[in-house]
Structure 1
Amino acid sequence: MTTCTEVVTSSDSYKDIMPRTTKINYGIGDFGNNIIWHTMGIWLAYFYTDVYGLSASHVAVMYLMLRIFDAITDPLVGLLVDRTRTKHGSCRPFILYGTIPLAITFIMLFYTPDLGETGKLVYAYVSFSLLTLAYTLVNVPFSAMAGFLTRDSDERTMLQSFRFGLGMLASVFVSYSTLSLVGLFGQGNDQQGFFYTAVVFALLIVGCLYYCFFTVKEVYPAPALKNDEKMGLKDLIGSIKEAFNNQQLVILFLGNILFFIILTLKATPTVYYVKEVLIDAEHMMTTFITWGTVGATLGAALSGLMWTRFDKVRAYKILMFVCGVLTAIPYWLPGDAFSSILILGTVVSFLSLSMVPLIWSMLSDVVDYQVTLTGKNMSGLFFALFLFTLKVGLGVGGALALWIMGETGYVANIAQQTPEVVESINFISTLLPGILFIVAGMIMMFYTLDKEKRAEIKLKLYGE
């Protein structure tokens, strides 16, 4: 197998082209990460309300509270990555030692203890908090590792395209298999079914992340720490302030907080949307979810091929507005227009997930831009802050959806919801995310690291 190191040390290293095997192996790691992300995005809210037995309002508050916890842990882990120098590199040690705790806490998340309402709520907070911490310890360095694999902006886009293309295959797998596995393991007991399904998923998570660890090496090691960089946690606030002096990071940060809120806002009520808004479509649940994830997978996988021939920044901005319009249209369609809604949803999934590799590629560009401003490589902290935007999306998007449903009177496991509940589910699944897409697109109009600017940065840093 050809390794990254062999390519970079060859005489033609200036092209900085990674072998395809490296991109695939990195993507396999994200297959494991995305099993967690997609299971939480699609099934966790439904599990908590209709299987575990919590109220939608309680779940909404929990989602928000745990994002406050993330606000502390994400930058801490990012700072730790920036201060780590080992024989395995700066990022890979976290994957090595964090994968098993991540798998265990994922299993804990879908265990239903034999406790009263208060005890179950406490257990949900504890297990969700532990998973959040473990996910941070693995995913922040995993994401930051991309910046240590190549310095070429287009190659970064291709790398992220492979990453999210293979990662989204996990979404297809989770979408297609979850209900079948729950039925197989539970035999009518959904609590038992979800638990053993989580065990199977956890084994896959471990296999994928360890495969990535052993097959992907950090090609460009972080430079030795200077004396003034060997700092403790007391300097974290100063580092964050320095990061946010980078205006392009702030714009990317704000735009993508909204972007990830949108994705979660659309994903969280999917099960409820099929059950309550679409007419006689509950038996098509797996089909509806799977088609969306197939579209998303193709979008992520083809992103590099579609958008590297153009300026990825311009493409990203246009896609925001297009997705906004297409997302909102189903709000006005009748509930029996299943085929039309399915097609529109699949197209939006394709386009919106084709943007995700562009986002992470742009973040690596902003890291380089920061080096030109301050002389410091703050990759770990930047990716930690950016992963925080993703988790804010999971928290705020999920909490907002569940809060609206709870306030309008959603009750789990009843034959028919009120018209107000059905309307609220339709609104948070279509019109609201459509509006937010437009707002995010307007914010990103102020992002200026276009193709010409990126070429200037690369020339200044690497003389290429």
Structure 2
Amino acid sequence: MNKPWQTKWPERLSYGLSDAADNLVFQMMTTYLLFFYTDVYGLTASAAAILFVVARLADVVESLVIGLMIDRTHSKWGKSRPFFLWYALPYVIFAILTFVTPPFGDNGKLVWAYVTYLGLGFLYTAVNLPITSILPTMTENDQEQTVLGVIRQFCGSSVQIIVAVFTLPLVALFGHGNQQRGFLLTIVLFGAISLILIWNTFIHVRERFTNPEHAHQSWRAVSGMLKQNKPWLVISVVILLYWLTTAIKNQTTIYYFKYIQNNEQLVPYANAFTFAALIGVLLIVRFSNRWGKKRTMLTGILVAAVGQLILSLGAVGNLLPVIFTGTLINSVGNGLIIGLVSIMIADTIRYGMAMGIQAEGILASTDDFGVNVGLGLGGLITAGLFHLSGYAANHAQNGATQHMILLNYAWLPLILYVVMFAVLLLYNERELQAKIQPDTQD
């Protein structure tokens, strides 16, 4: 029989708002940082591409390091919870510094970009990874974990959409024609709100279920568990593919409307249709209870792919109503996918616990690893293809660059959804549930 519920609404909302806090900065990074670097800050597309490669190589190490730090943490607050207190302020400071345009020469500005962006990547992992790692320690009730994951994603997705829609209007409002000033004041506003929300999470959430005998195992024991945790391996690849898809599409959206539609002001309207992701998130509890989490995520991928196909056809024909319709359908599917990520990672953590190894930090690092590497590869692909095609910031683009913009905005994400679907078919949910909830099996 499933365990009784342990959390109350103040804790549930505070947990969900942690993802909202992180996404105030994260969405600025995924959607506008490449544009900021090339069209506002003054980096070339090739320099930005190399920066993203270096940052992602660093993130490969950072996710593992933060995961190990969580698993090695002994504090009166638990293993994951203190990270919200310790790293919130540095995270916000580096977020603001990343959007500062210093009065340096080209080399000095490039160094500044490396220092601030690499620092921001590490600190983002330090405040975001604990959101996933703390979930299975808050409650042992499977349905409650699903509800907590849905609340988290609803809050996170809401803020993602708000940032995507309102960033450029805020930049225009604060900058009065000066985009450097506008981006800086916008991130200051987002950062201040983020800081308050992350500290609020620290105050209200609790770690209740930590087994002292399983909580601090040797790396040899942990690595052995990882090799046997096949559901974790599969969902890790799915997460990476999802964020690679998201990065390629989101980073190209502003370029598509600026250089192909010749109307940068359409970006907030296009992003407004991503509010439909909240529909997908809210459907998770109903669908997962009826179909299971794997089938629900497969449905999300299929819906997202159909929406992306419609968007692609609209982009080829320059048909805005078709593009917006495709964006709406695609967003519903994305809501189903991303809303299940932390929940399914929590299941793989519990799967590891059933093997006698509680390594929530390492297992949860998959989420941030996928986010960081997916974003980095997406930035590399986008910036690299732009560079090869002869992209010139703030000028009319040649035919090759327009082709690359269309490829990144429309067709590459569609291909990646197909690959994502195929990978998730390998996820053995029946075996996992039999291990973590043996009392519910026949």
**TM-score category (smaller protein):** over 0.9
Task: Output aligned runs, 1:25-424, within 5 Å.
Answer: 25-220=14-209, 222-224=210-212, 229=216, 235=219, 239-240=222-223, 242-278=225-261, 281-292=263-274, 294-333=275-314, 334-372=316-354, 374-414=355-395, 416-424=396-404
Structure-2 residue corresponding to 1:436: 416
Gaps of 5+ in 2: none
CA shift digits 1:291-326 (9 cap, x unpaired): 22x122333344324433321211212332332233
Tell me if structure 2 keeps the 8 A contact 1:268–1:398: yes
Tell me if structure 1 keeps the 8 A contact 2:225–2:352: no
CA shift digits 1:104-151 (9 cap, x unpaired): 000001000111111111110100011111111111122211111122
In the alignment, the residues of structure 1 paired with residue 98 and residue 88 of structure 2 have an alpha-carbon distance, to the nearest angstrom, of 16
Distance of aligned partners of 1:43 and 1:240 in 2 relative to their CA distance in 1, 3 Å threshold: farther
- Give the aligned residue type for 1:358: L
Q: Does 1:426 align with 2:406?
A: yes
Q: Secondary structure at the match of 1:88?
A: coil
CA shift digits 1:203-252 (9 cap, x unpaired): 011011111111222222x22257x9476xxx4x8744641332222111
Tell me if structure 1 keeps the 8 A contact 2:296–2:336: no
- Give the aligned residue type for 2:177: G
In the alignment, the residues of structure 1 paired with residue 64 and residue 386 of structure 2 have an alpha-carbon distance, to the nearest angstrom, of 32
Gaps of 5+ in 1: 1-11
- Give the aligned residue type for 1:356: I
Q: CA deviation at 1:335?
A: 4.5
CA shift digits 1:397-418 (9 cap, x unpaired): 121112112211111111x211
In the alignment, the residues of structure 2 paired with residue 193 and residue 332 of structure 1 have an alpha-carbon distance, to the nearest angstrom, of 34
Q: CA deviation at 1:284?
A: 2.0
User: Which has the higher mean CA deviation after the structures are superposed, 16-25 or 420-429?
Assistant: 16-25
Structure-1 residue corresponding to 2:436: 457
Q: Secondary structure at the match of 1:15?
A: coil
Q: Secondary structure at the match of 1:308?
A: helix
In the alignment, the residues of structure 2 paired with residue 196 and residue 328 of structure 1 have an alpha-carbon distance, to the nearest angstrom, of 37
In the alignment, the residues of structure 1 paired with residue 228 and residue 203 of structure 2 have an alpha-carbon distance, to the nearest angstrom, of 37
Tell me if structure 2 keeps the 8 A contact 1:261–1:394: yes
- Percent identity (aligned): 28
In the alignment, the residues of structure 2 paired with residue 246 and residue 210 of structure 1 have an alpha-carbon distance, to the nearest angstrom, of 33
- Give the aligned residue type for 1:421: T
Distance of aligned partners of 1:322 and 1:173 in 2 relative to their CA distance in 1, 3 Å threshold: closer
- Give the aligned residue type for 1:206: L
- Give the aligned residue type for 2:66: V
Aligned residues: 441
In the alignment, the residues of structure 2 paired with residue 160 and residue 81 of structure 1 have an alpha-carbon distance, to the nearest angstrom, of 20
CA shift digits 1:318-372 (9 cap, x unpaired): 3323322331333333443101111111210121122112121111111122223
Tell me if structure 2 keeps the 8 A contact 1:329–1:431: no
Structure-2 residue corresponding to 1:4: none
Q: CA deviation at 1:384?
A: 1.2
In the alignment, the residues of structure 2 paired with residue 300 and residue 322 of structure 1 have an alpha-carbon distance, to the nearest angstrom, of 13
- Give the aligned residue type for 1:437: Y
Tell me if structure 1 keeps the 8 A contact 2:22–2:194: yes
Tell me if structure 1 keeps the 8 A contact 2:306–2:329: no
Structure-2 residue corresponding to 1:8: none
Distance of aligned partners of 1:364 and 1:296 in 2 relative to their CA distance in 1, 3 Å threshold: same
Q: Secondary structure at the match of 1:359?
A: helix
Tell me if structure 1 keeps the 8 A contact 2:216–2:358: no
In the alignment, the residues of structure 1 paired with residue 323 and residue 370 of structure 2 have an alpha-carbon distance, to the nearest angstrom, of 29
Distance of aligned partners of 1:240 and 1:387 in 2 relative to their CA distance in 1, 3 Å threshold: farther
Distance of aligned partners of 1:332 and 1:176 in 2 relative to their CA distance in 1, 3 Å threshold: closer
Q: Secondary structure at the match of 2:237?
A: helix
Q: Secondary structure at the match of 2:290?
A: coil
CA shift digits 1:152-180 (9 cap, x unpaired): 33322221111010111212321232122
Q: CA deviation at 1:281?
A: 4.0
- Give the aligned residue type for 1:180: P
Distance of aligned partners of 1:321 and 1:26 in 2 relative to their CA distance in 1, 3 Å threshold: same
Q: CA deviation at 1:422?
A: 1.2
What TM-score does the superposition give when structure 2 sets the normalisation length?
Answer: 0.93
Tell me if structure 2 keeps the 8 A contact 1:166–1:297: no
In the alignment, the residues of structure 2 paired with residue 140 and residue 397 of structure 1 have an alpha-carbon distance, to the nearest angstrom, of 20
